[in-house]
Structures are given as C-alpha cells and as structure tokens.
Chains A and B, each alone.
Chain A
Amino acid sequence: MSGPSVRETFTRGFAISPELRRGLGVTLSLAVGAAIGRVCLPFVTQRVIDDGLLAPGGVDTAVVGRYALAGAALMLFSAVVAWRVRTRMVTAAEAGLATLRIRAFDKVHELSVLTQNEEQRGRYVSRVTGDVETMRDLMQWTGAAMIVSALEAIVVFGVMTLYSWVLAIVVALAFIPVVLSLLWIQPRVREALQRVRAQMADLLGRTSEQLVGIATIRSYGVQQRMRDDLHREIEEICEAERRASRLASTNFASTVLGQSLATGLALIVGTILAIRGDLSVGTVVAFALLVYMFSGPLMWIIEMLAEGQRAMVGWRRVLDLCDAEVTVADPGEGGIDIPHGHGNLDIKQVRLTYPGGPEVLKGIDLTVARGTRIALVGQTGSGKTSLARLMSRFFDPTAGEIRVGGVNLRDVPSSSLRRAVAVVPQEGFLFDGTIRSNLAYALPSAPPDDLELRTLAAFESLGLDAWLATLPNGLDTAVGPRGELLSAGERQLVSIARAYLRDPDLLVLDEATSAVDPATEVRISRALEGLMRGRTAVVIAHRLSTAERADIIGVMHNGELVELGAHRELVAARGAYADMYAAWMSQTRDDVE
C-alpha cells in the first residue's frame, strides 16, 4: 500500500469516526511516558553493577537497594500509565468502530436496490462484521502496541546513544540486514496467507454446495466421491499453510540471528571500549539487555505490519462503502407528496441501462389509470421486473420519467413514496420475530392497541382470519429467521397483509413462481384480490392465468413493450400473447375437460 493512500484512509476514517482521534495526543504522550518507564531496567542494571556491585570498597548494598527500589517504583508507575493508555485506546477504538459500523449499515440501506444483488449482500455483511473486526485489533491493540513499540525502540535506541553512540551504531548496523530480509519476506508471507484464505473460501463454497445437495448425494451413494472432493481441498489448504509457515519461520530465525549478532558485536566492541577506558563494565552489560529490549519491539512491529496492512485494507473497504454514491436521492422535506387516493401511473420514454450492462429497457411508454390492474408478461430477461422496480423507485431510470399520482418519483420524499407505493415481492421475506412484529413494519408509529385492531381488520378483509385462527399463537406466532418457520405460502400471506396495512395507492406485485399447495394458493390469490381491490396494481405475471385476470396486459419483449391491451383484444390480435396463450391452453385445459 502506498503512503498517500494510508494517509487518506486515516484522514477519511478519522472524519467518519472522530472518536478515534479524540484525545489521541494525550494517549500518545502517555505512551511515551510508559515506554520510558519500561526501559529503565538496563539503566538500573548499569548503575547497580557500576556503583553498587563493583563499588571501590566492595559491594555497596545500600546503593543497590536505592537504585533497585527506585527502578521498581518507576516501572510500577509506568505500568499504571500503560494501563491508562490501553484503556483510552480501547474506549476510543470501540466508540469509533461502533460509529463506523452503524454508518456503513445505514449506507447499505440508502444504496439503491440495483447494487443490492445477492453477491453484494454477503460482501456488505462482511463490511459491517469481519472487516470492522480486523480493524478492531488495529485500533484497540495492534495500533497502540505498534506505536508504543516504536516509541520504545526509539527510546531504547536513544538510551544506547547516550551510553555510547559507537555501540548504538554497531547495534543498528547489526539489525539492518535483518530488517531488510524481513521486509523482503513479509510480503511473501502475506501472499501465502492470502492464498490460504482464498482456498479456504473455495472449501467453504464447495461445502455449502454439498450441504444443499445432501439428499441427492446420499440417494445416489456418492458420499465417498464428495468427501474426496473436500479432502483434496483440505489437503491443498494444509499444503498452503505449511508453505506460509516455512516462509514465516525464516522471519523468526533471522530475528534471533539479528539479536545474537547485535549482542555479540555489542559485547566485543563494548569490552574493547571498556578496556580503553571509554565505557564502564555496567554499561557493557546494560547493552546486552538494551539490545534485547531494542530488538523485541522492532521485530514485533515488523511482524504486526502485515496485520496492520490487512486492517488498513479492511478499513478502506468499509470507508469505500460509506463513501459510495447514493444514486437514488431522497428529496426529503422539499419534495412533493403523492396525493392520497391517486394511484395513476404514467411512464414516459423510460430507458434503463445497468452499469456495465446492456440496455434492458428501451423506451417504455405506459399509462395506467387509477384503480386499473395491469399484468406484465414476457420471458425472463424481457425487462418486466426491471420496469416494476423502477415504479417503486428501487432505482431511477437512465432516461425518461415515472409519475405516480402525477408526481415525478424523483421529487417524492421517501416517506410519501413508501406510503403510496407498496411492493409485494416474489419471496415473502419476513424478519425474525412474530407475525405481529413483522406487520408493525408497515405502521411503525401506530400504538400497539391500534396496530392490533387494524391488523385484525386487515386479516378479515383479506379473508385471512380463518388462517390466522389456525395458528396456535395467532399474531404472536414466531416466524423464525427469514420467516422460515412459516411455509412459503404463509410468508406470502403475511407480506400481503403487511402491504395492505400501508393502504397504498399503487401496488407492485411480483407473482411467486414456486409452487405452494393448492389450498394456500387459493388463500393467496383471494388475499391478493382483496389487496388490489380499488387500487392501481402492476402484476409481474409468471402464469397466464394471472394475466388473464388483469384489466390490461402488457407484453414485454427484449426491453420493449410490444403489446398492450385487454386479454380478449390480445387473443384476438393473434400476436405474441395469443401464441403464448394458445400454447398454455393446449397443455392445461384440455386435460381437465
């Protein structure tokens, strides 16, 4: 990573989490104090040897005692300071990280649905979890420890220079080859570890595939083959890990070598200087300890550099998310509300191109009068889903405009838009909790009693009261993560009730494709009828039976609206829709009758 980008990361990171910066100066000053306290041992040792043990008149225990106790006091004091430094760092780091996490989370929901595809989602989750965690070490411990270690190494080196600049230079020279070799090895170690991580991701990918196919695997008796696949991946990971540890081992070996080299050279040069009368015996011995105290933090810093870099990468990623451009801007207070009861839809010359993709909507013009139900039909990829998503402003069209109740969606504040336009997606997604807590999403500000009344009324008018009665805990039935304790059809029912509670003017429905049992299917379609009654509705139809029931049908093909009209008109027109309908009729109806 280059210098400026590190600085940019810090600048931007501090701007988003000012807690990280607050009081940093004091913390670092304290850290210097702690470092000085910690390096007093060699100094005390030197004094004790020269003035106490080798005192001219024999061992002077009083001097030794004085120095030793003073040293102990100083060390204890520095330990207290170090404790304070850590406490400050931890508090600041945790506060800063929580802020960053929350900021990143909010950002994900601000981003348009366009960027919220499945593959992205996993990444977003790791932004607010894993990436923040890697930084956590840097912020609350690695970073502080690196700074303290660096200070310690500097202070130790300063002490060495004060004792003897010649010896200090000798020690520094002894460490140069070590530092160089570490700087050379470290990136390779990191690379090797990255490979381990990538292979680990492959293994997990393959494992989750197998978990999906477990019944198939057992049914076909291919267990051992599947195990062998995993064994291969595991073996590869093991090999990669071994390679990384071989590389890393040279790191440690050269550290020890540098330490011995520096101690040996310091001893030789120190003694020669001492013989010439330039140094005391205590100083020579103190140097042996100083080398040890100098190399420790130095090596530690180099070792932590990799961690630090990983954390910087993580931080950068979270910051990039925080800085991602919000493509769908909320006009907020200054916007125009969609008037209640006006769900008429006007689409003018709408074009849409996904970033880096082909044009998926090529100039759509469509007007849907208030209270009308339109079904969009067409092949997968014809653009019907994209068009529907534009209506709920999950993202904005590349060109053209969409008006609901006469107001351009770009001018509608988010709160008004979500009240006026309700979406019932294909997969009824529920949040972990109860049916009640999920319905509360529709009316966040309603008091509990009111919510209960309105909910029960909604269930009744949607014909779902009988279904609700079959649930042992009624509205308090737990739905589980993603609503998985309920069946797909039941999730759909709750989603419909949720949309109903909003009392929207325009409904955008994506018909479910997965089959549910016929009884639930009937409930769903009745509830949908109830939901759509009196409202403008756009239905993305996957079944022609659904399309048949709409007031008008729009046939999408290749990003264009190729046919538009009532079912009978389109059948009579003998176009694309008529062909689809004929094909469908031939394979369903003739069997029944």
Chain B
Amino acid sequence: MSRTGSRTDDYQLNGSFARRSGHLLAHAVRTEPRRFAVAIVTAGVFSVMTVVFGRLLGQITDQVVIPGVSGSPIEGWWGERTQDPQTAIIIAGAVFLAIGVVNASLVGVRRATQGAAVAGVGARHRTVVADAIASLPLGWHRSNPSGRILSAMSSDSETATNVLHPFAFAIGSFVMMIAAGVAMWRMDPWLAVTGLSVVPVIFAINLVYERVITPHWDAGQSLRSDVSTIAHESFEGGTIVKALGAERLEGERFARAARALRDADTRVGRTSAWFEPMMDVVVPLGATALMIVGAYRAQAGAVSVGDVVSAIYLVALLAVPIRGLGWVLGQMPSALVAYRRIGQIAAAATEMDEPGHRVVANVGAGAMQFVRADIGADDGDGGLAQILTDVSLDLAPGTITALVGATGSGKSTVALAASRLARSMSGTITLDDTAIDTVADMGSHVALVPQAAFVFSGTVRDNVTLGEPFPDADVWEALARANIADVVESLGAGLDAVLSERGMNLSGGQRQRLALARALVRRPRILVLDDATSAVDPRVEQEILRGLAADGAGPTVLIIAYRLASILLADSVVHVHRGRVVDTGSHEELLARDPGYRELVLAYEQDSQRAAAESAGVVG
C-alpha cells in the first residue's frame, strides 16, 4: 500500500528534542493546514488585541481618568471628542467593550478550529494505526500484545495530540510577547526590560521542573502498569484465586504494588507542588518590580503613570500565555514517545495487500505443491525465524490431506504458508504450477480457517461475506454446509440476525462453524483448516468434513486435526515433527512404518484401552 508507505516516513522521528518537536508540530500542520492557519492567525490577532487592551487601559487612565478626577481637560483622542468626563469615560468603556467582543469571537473561532484541527490529527494517527493492522506481519501480532495496537489507537493518539491543543495559543503567545515587548519598549526600554524579565525566569523554572519531574513520572507510569497488570491477571484468574483460597495472598500482592504506586505518585505530586505556586508568583513579582522601576522612571519624567499601569497590566496578561507555552513544552516529551509508538507500528506494517500479479484460472479444485521449502515466520522484529525445513508436500486436486504432529511441530506454519501468510525462505510453493508469491487474488483460491474463530459484532451476513457481494442463497448454502444454518435460523432474523461482540452469543463450536461458512461461501479451490473444528462436536465435525467432498466438486483440503476420526477421512497423511516432514502416506502406511506417528495417533486409543481395563477392574 503506497498510502501507508508514504505515511510511514512521516512518523519517523530523528535528531534533537527541538527537531523532533518541530517534526511533530509540522506533521500536525501538514495534516490540517487550513484549520491550524485559522487558529494561529486568530490567536495572533487575539494577542495583539489583548496588548492593545492593556495599552488602552493605561491611555484611558492618563487621558481620561486622571484628568477627569483632577478636573483637568480630557486629553488625546478622547479630548477631541468631548470634554465632558462622563461622556468621555462612556466612550472609553464602549471602546473597551468593543475590543472585548472582538476578542471573545476570536477566542471562540480559535478554540473551535483548533479543536477541529486536533481532532483531525487524532483521526490521522488512528487511521495510520487502522491501516497498519492488516499489513503487520503475523509475527508482529504474535510478539506484541493486542493492547499495543489498542493503546496506539486510544491513549497514544490522544497523548500525541494533546500537546497540540495549546499550540495555536502558544504561537499567539509569542506574538503577544513580542507585541507587549514592543508596546513597553515604546513607552520606555527600562519598563520593557523589567517586564519581560519574567519570560526567561518562567522558561527556566519550566525547564528545571521538566528535568526533575520526568524520572519521577516515568517511575510512576511503570508502577501504574504493574497495578493494572496485577488487577487484570488476578481478576481473570478469579475462579482460581477462590479455588485456591489465595484471596489474601493476592490482596497482599496488589497492596504492595498499590503502595509503591502511592509513594511514586506522592513524589510526583510533591515535586509539582512547588512548581505551580512558583509559576504563579513570578508574574506578580515582575509586576512589583515594574512598580519600583516605573516609579523611578516616572520621577525622572520618562514615563507617565498610565504607562506604568499599562506595563503592569501587560505583564499580568502575559501570565496565561506563558503558562500555555510551558504546557506545550511540558507535554512534548510524552507526546513524542506516543508519536514514536504510532510510528513504530506504521513502520512495521510492511505486508502488501496484493503482492501477486499472475492470474490463475479459477476452475475446479486447486493443486498445491511445496518443493523443498524452508519456511520462516516473522519474529516480530522484521526478521524471519525459520520454523520448517525442507518441506515437500503435494496436495492433489480434490484430495484431503491431514497434517499430524505434536504441539509446536510446525503444523500451523504449513497452514500459514499454504495461505501465503508465512514465507518460504528457500524452495518453492506453487498453486497450479504458479509460484504463490506471484498469484494475484490469492484469497479467491485459498481459504484459511484458523482455530480461533473470528466473529465480529454485526449481522450474520456481514460475518460470512465480510462485505463482499455474495447472494443470500450462497450464504445460506455455505451456512448449511458448515452445519450452522439451523442455529442462524433459530436466531430469528435470518441473515440479518445480529451477533454480539466477538460472537459471545454463540458457543465456541458455533463460532468455528460460522468461520467455516465464511470460507465455504468463497468456494475456495483449496481449503486450509488449522484445527478449525476443535470445539465442534465430533459427530457434527464428521458430517461437515464428509460433506465437503460430497458433491464431487469440493475443494482440495489441508486439515490439521487432533481427532483420529478426522485423520481417517484424509486421503493422505503428513507427519510433521520438529519442523520437518517425517513421513507422508496413507494412515495405514504411516501406522505400519512410522513409529512416531503410531505413538502419536494411537495415544488416544491406548489411553482409552488402559482406562477400560482399569474401570473393568473397579467394576468387576
């Protein structure tokens, strides 16, 4: 997928903190250029207006309030309009209010567009993760908990975008600082220097705070995940805890983790306890400094009283935007971590949806051959771990082949390789004499049914068709062949019956049968059943398997099964042991010449005979 490919590069973070931060912000602006532009412009205008507001307060003091009170003539712009102090102050108040209305609308517009922009960036993060899911190698899914994807979609996407909320505001703050600096400078450089000295102080406090708090915070986060892990595990094994009477032990285990978290969080809290009051006190202290400097400058006749008032007001106004900048800086480290986590998922999503290009005729049952294939599974880090060595198989059209072997022998990897979900490292795997790597539309030829049945909340029809336009009659036929049509009928709404999340209203066997129907409706030429009927009642399983070939037009079947009866249905049996094919032949042949196989499949039989003897002893 080229779309994912180009996006992947966007999510690579390199270089210094400043560079990475710049990258994150640039990515956001590129995603929502117009909205961010509007938000930043309104924030800038708002800042300038706020400074004007402060400047105006000083002017009004100088030109209207002081003369009005002392009975001197009204000065400046106001003086040109009226000499009546009351009228002048009403005009001044109205101008004040007008600026307020403009500012209020600016704030409204900025907040709304900024919120919309941030939502858009969040949606992009989620889309990147959503697009990656089906393109991640199966090995990645095996070696990463599903929580990794889920948290990338939820908390990581949120953390990576939270930092953007005050972004426009923070840029506005720069504008405001500059505007305030210019306004003060024009009054008097001394006032400007004094007033703006709060800015570096606030940045310094922020910087020190970030340095000090980060390790505490990290420690807290890791203990938080401990608490959550213990709770998860302990509640999931609640029955066992009860059965073992281990409630107290578990309680102690949890209490230890909860107390460690308490201590860590208390440390974080105590550290930030000095930060907020310090930040709060910097601006008022700056204001008192301004008063002293202002007094000397006013005494020297360099500034008016109104100028000092303006400067004090401007510094007070600066407090909020400076905090906004601090907020951005404070959230940036965790945002970068979250962003990188999303990026890692995107970067790992290397599988192509349609790697093939050669069209293979879609008629009759398929033939598949493995010729001396070494097959690897992704280790989750982009590498391949070899699972199978030198595997040769011949699945003749219309036959049933059973794969038999102990747990971990590599049977499932064979199934995955047949469906092109695991790769051959050497040797070849062919479908109708075409290398499967090059076959186009592989899904129309081979259908894999894994042991864990995938059922999603939605209608029965959607679950079977997966959105493809199969006619209802075909869906019903597939349901019937999978022996689940009667269950669907009993749900009462036909194919529109709604299945709950993960098909919780179906039993395990019913879910597996539904998954089988999904494969059958596609009329695959090769059907791969990876222990796909393990939870189905043995009798029903037999019916289904026999039914597959009943009309003579059934698919070629590769089946991994543990039940002897299923193995007996196969035309040929392949015994896999420790990643190698030990023997291939009919059940009888293998039984006769392969001791490992004999041991494996007769285990059931021996066991039930031994038990029969025992119970005969007890009863008799």
| Same complex | yes
CA distance A423 to B618 in the complex (A): 24
Q: Does A209 contact B (CB under 8 A)?
A: yes
Which residue in A38, A116, A215 is a CB contact (below 8 Å) of B450? A215
Residue of B nearest to A98 (CB): B262
- Given the contacts A53-B298, A584-B539, A200 and B154 also touching, CB distance less than 8 Å: yes
CA distance A495 to B277 in the complex (A): 56
CA distance A41 to B528 in the complex (A): 78
Q: Does B600 contact A (CB under 8 A)?
A: yes
> Is B269 a contact partner of A86 (Cβ separation < 8 A)?
yes
CA distance A250 to B291 in the complex (A): 36
Which chain B positions have C-beta within 8 A of A83? 273-274, 277-278
> Is B605 a contact partner of A274 (Cβ separation < 8 A)?
no
CA distance A71 to B146 in the complex (A): 57
Residue of B nearest to A238 (CB): B123
Which residue in B85, B149, B233, B564 is a CB contact (below 8 Å) of A482? B233
Minimum CB–CB distance from B75 to chain A (whole Å) comes to 14
Q: Does B9 contact A (CB under 8 A)?
A: no
Q: Does A516 contact B (CB under 8 A)?
A: yes
Minimum CB–CB distance from B150 to chain A (whole Å) comes to 5
CA distance A392 to B618 in the complex (A): 27
The size bracket of the interface on A is: 35 or more
A-contact 0/1 string along B274-303, CB 8 Å cutoff: 101110110011011101101110110000
CA distance A18 to B470 in the complex (A): 63
Which residue in A204, A215, A237, A245 is a CB contact (below 8 Å) of B111? A245
Q: Does A59 contact B (CB under 8 A)?
A: yes
CA distance A374 to B614 in the complex (A): 15
Q: Does B185 contact A (CB under 8 A)?
A: no
CA distance A199 to B243 in the complex (A): 38
Q: Does A45 contact B (CB under 8 A)?
A: yes
Which chain B positions have C-beta within 8 A of A584? 538-539
- Given the contacts A209-B456, A221-B353, A252-B108, A102 and B97 also touching, CB distance less than 8 Å: no
9 A-B contact pairs sorted by A residue (CB < 8 Å) = A91-B270, A109-B251, A200-B154, A205-B501, A221-B442, A245-B112, A261-B100, A429-B239, A587-B542
Classify the secondary structure of A's interface with B.
helix
CA distance A229 to B458 in the complex (A): 11
Q: Does B99 contact A (CB under 8 A)?
A: yes
Which stretch of B21-29, B253-261, B359-367, B372-380 is in the interface?
A: B253-261
Residue of B nearest to A117 (CB): B238
Which chain B positions have C-beta within 8 A of A208? 146, 150, 502
> Is A214 a contact partner of B138 (Cβ separation < 8 A)?
yes
Which chain A positions have C-beta within 8 A of B448? 215-216, 219
Q: Does B601 contact A (CB under 8 A)?
A: yes
Q: Does B327 contact A (CB under 8 A)?
A: no
Q: Does A76 contact B (CB under 8 A)?
A: yes
Which chain B positions have C-beta within 8 A of A200? 154
Q: Does A248 contact B (CB under 8 A)?
A: yes
> Is A67 a contact partner of B291 (Cβ separation < 8 A)?
yes
Minimum CB–CB distance from A506 to chain B (whole Å) comes to 12
> Is A253 a contact partner of B111 (Cβ separation < 8 A)?
yes
- Given the contacts A58-B299, A522-B606, A259 and B542 also touching, CB distance less than 8 Å: no
> Is B607 a contact partner of A285 (Cβ separation < 8 A)?
no
How many residues of B are counted as interface, with CB atoms below 8 angstroms from the partner's CB atoms?
176
Q: Does A312 contact B (CB under 8 A)?
A: no
Which chain A positions have C-beta within 8 A of B100? 256-257, 259-261, 263-264
A-contact 0/1 string along B206-226, CB 8 Å cutoff: 000000000000000000100
> Is A242 a contact partner of B289 (Cβ separation < 8 A)?
no
CA distance A513 to B563 in the complex (A): 12
Residue of B nearest to A253 (CB): B108
Which residue in B115, B138, B277 is a CB contact (below 8 Å) of A241? B115
Q: Does A281 contact B (CB under 8 A)?
A: yes
Which chain A positions have C-beta within 8 A of B241? 109
Q: Does B104 contact A (CB under 8 A)?
A: yes
> Is B122 a contact partner of A238 (Cβ separation < 8 A)?
yes
Which residue in B57, B254, B285, B295 is a CB contact (below 8 Å) of A72? B285
Q: Does A211 contact B (CB under 8 A)?
A: yes
> Is A207 a contact partner of B133 (Cβ separation < 8 A)?
yes
- Given the contacts A59-B295, A222-B466, A587 and B115 also touching, CB distance less than 8 Å: no
Q: Does A183 contact B (CB under 8 A)?
A: no
Which residue in B146, B234, B261, B287 is a CB contact (below 8 Å) of A45? B287
- Given the contacts A116-B235, A549-B611, A140 and B138 also touching, CB distance less than 8 Å: no
Which stretch of A5-13, A120-128, A400-408, A455-463 is in the interface?
A: A120-128
Which chain A positions have C-beta within 8 A of B284? 38, 41, 71-72, 75
Q: Does A288 contact B (CB under 8 A)?
A: yes
Q: Does A579 contact B (CB under 8 A)?
A: no
> Is A288 a contact partner of B313 (Cβ separation < 8 A)?
yes
> Is A442 a contact partner of B89 (Cβ separation < 8 A)?
no
> Is A218 a contact partner of B313 (Cβ separation < 8 A)?
no
Q: Does B457 contact A (CB under 8 A)?
A: yes
- Tally inter-chain residue pairs, CB-CB below 8 A: 507
Q: Does A349 contact B (CB under 8 A)?
A: no
Minimum CB–CB distance from B263 to chain A (whole Å) comes to 8
Which chain B positions have C-beta within 8 A of A223? 134-135, 353
- Given the contacts A241-B119, A418-B244, A515 and B534 also touching, CB distance less than 8 Å: yes
Q: Does A316 contact B (CB under 8 A)?
A: no
Which residue in A113, A221, A249, A525 is a CB contact (below 8 Å) of B115? A249
Residue of B nearest to A262 (CB): B100
CA distance A483 to B515 in the complex (A): 27
Q: Does B441 contact A (CB under 8 A)?
A: yes
Q: Does B193 contact A (CB under 8 A)?
A: no
Which chain B positions have C-beta within 8 A of A210? 133-134, 454, 456
Which residue in B92, B281, B603 is a CB contact (below 8 Å) of A267? B92
Q: List which B376-427 residues lie within 8 A (CB) of chain A.
A: 405-408, 416, 419, 421
Which stretch of B58-66, B172-180, B550-558 is in the interface?
A: B58-66
Q: Does B94 contact A (CB under 8 A)?
A: yes
> Is B562 a contact partner of A518 (Cβ separation < 8 A)?
yes
Q: Does B93 contact A (CB under 8 A)?
A: yes
> Is B85 a contact partner of A271 (Cβ separation < 8 A)?
yes
> Is B96 a contact partner of A587 (Cβ separation < 8 A)?
no
> Is A425 a contact partner of B243 (Cβ separation < 8 A)?
yes
Which chain A positions have C-beta within 8 A of B97? 260-261, 264
CA distance A521 to B109 in the complex (A): 68
Which chain A positions have C-beta within 8 A of B150? 204, 207-208
> Is A105 a contact partner of B254 (Cβ separation < 8 A)?
yes
Which chain B positions have C-beta within 8 A of A285? 57, 61, 65, 309
Q: Does A54 contact B (CB under 8 A)?
A: yes
Q: Does B505 contact A (CB under 8 A)?
A: no
Which chain A positions have C-beta within 8 A of B316? 41, 289, 292
Which residue in A260, A271, A422, A430 is a CB contact (below 8 Å) of B104? A260
Q: Does A566 contact B (CB under 8 A)?
A: yes
Q: Does B86 contact A (CB under 8 A)?
A: yes
Q: Does B143 contact A (CB under 8 A)?
A: no
- Given the contacts A275-B85, A444-B249, A209 and B107 also touching, CB distance less than 8 Å: no
CA distance A86 to B277 in the complex (A): 9
> Is B269 a contact partner of A94 (Cβ separation < 8 A)?
yes
> Is B93 a contact partner of A588 (Cβ separation < 8 A)?
no
CA distance A487 to B408 in the complex (A): 9
Q: Does B523 contact A (CB under 8 A)?
A: no
CA distance A79 to B282 in the complex (A): 10
Q: Does A230 contact B (CB under 8 A)?
A: yes
Which chain B positions have C-beta within 8 A of A237? 119, 122-123, 126
Minimum CB–CB distance from B402 to chain A (whole Å) comes to 13
> Is A242 a contact partner of B119 (Cβ separation < 8 A)?
yes
Interface centre among B68, B115, B295, B467 (most CB of A within 10 A): B295
- Given the contacts A124-B235, A242-B115, A254-B104, A551 and B457 also touching, CB distance less than 8 Å: no
Minimum CB–CB distance from A178 to chain B (whole Å) comes to 10
Which residue in B249, B507, B515, B603 is a CB contact (below 8 Å) of A518? B603
- Given the contacts A53-B294, A256-B104, A591-B565, A68 and B270 also touching, CB distance less than 8 Å: no
> Is A274 a contact partner of B68 (Cβ separation < 8 A)?
yes
Q: Does A327 contact B (CB under 8 A)?
A: no
Residue of B nearest to A204 (CB): B150
Known pairs A249-B115, A264-B94, A592-B564 / 5 extra A-B pairs, C-beta < 8 Å: A78-B277, A102-B255, A217-B454, A394-B243, A429-B239
